[in-house]
Structure 1
């Protein structure tokens, strides 16, 4: 049994959101990273790709998830499963949003047309 205390969680900030790592390979030895995303209104994230499937559950607020050009409005309790390699962008609703997310360890992110510049998001490491 491995326990990650709330005081051990890691915070990573980007211009679009704050990610709090709850468990990952480097934090608790988890094979599936688990992190929380908190985004304020007016802070749309960039269009990007992840080379692995991800699952996001909205805990509060609302967000528009655009995946391969198809937009879906999500609210508290909604879950979206995003296929590997698809273009995605998250645009917070008027109150922002909080989501709980997971995917496999080692997943990598990249911007459209920049497949040669993949990086592992620090909140998943």
Structure 2
């Protein structure tokens, strides 16, 4: 059973956010990815098109999620799904 220790996870800091790569093909999954993302307050995301379906769960704080031009405020416990090919 592959276990990814937080101390061994890859971390990327870009666009006022810290992305911690926990589960990905390089750590044992076939295609599933799980990232922990910490975003600085008052940051604005960089629009981008995603290749595969993505799911988001807010653990703390608040965020406005925009998928294909539709924006929705989210609070802890809320989740969103972005379909493959969406912005």
Query: What is the TM-score when the length of structure 2 is the normalising length?
Result: 0.91
CA-to-aligned-CA distance 1:54-78 (integer Å, 9 cap, x gap): 0001111010011111110001000
Unpaired stretches in structure 1, ≥5 consecutive residues = 88-125
Match of residue 85 from structure 1: 85
Q: Unaligned stretches of 5+ in structure 2?
A: none
Greater relative contact order (Cα < 8 A, sep 6+) = 1
CA RMSD, aligned part only? 1.1
Q: Number of matched residues?
A: 86
Deviations 1:16-61 (A, max 9, x none): 311001121112x112111101001122111111021100011110
Runs of 4+ deviating beyond 3 Å: none
More strand by share: 1
Secondary structure in 2 matching 1:26: helix
